[in-house]
Amino acid sequence: MSRILLLILIAGGVFLIILFVSRPDLWQSFWLWIIGLAGPIARLGGLFYDKLKQWITGSTSSEDAEFIARQTNKLNQNEQ
């Protein structure tokens, strides 16, 4: 099964190389598209990493911990 997947990936790569060699004007559109999506992809990757880390360790992030500490301090001040 992995041999078929490898052949499909190689065929796709060869197809893209031939396409970009025969029509170089497509490269500019593709490049702008990739650059435009780099920021959101990096942000989603960071969020995914934080959630995965939180799920594995079972702890909250530092921002969440600071927020909870501020809320607790406000409650303590209101009770006194």
Give tens-digit pLDDT for 26-80: 877 777 888 888 888 889 988 898 888 888 877 656 667 777 778 777 666 666 6
Q: What is the pLDDT of residue 27?
A: 77
pLDDT of residue 12: 94
pLDDT category at 9 given cuts 50, 70, 90 is very high
For the chain, which residues make up each domain, given as ranges? 2-79
Q: Report the predicted TM-score, pTM, of the whole model to 2 decimal places.
A: 0.39
Give the C-alpha separation, 44 to 51, whole Å.
Answer: 10
* Three state DSSP letters for the chain: CHHHHHHHHHHHHHHHHHHHHHCCHHHHHHHHHHHHHHHHHHHHHHHHHHHHHHHHHCCCCHHHHHHHHHHHHHHHHHHC
Average confidence (pLDDT) over 1-14 = 90
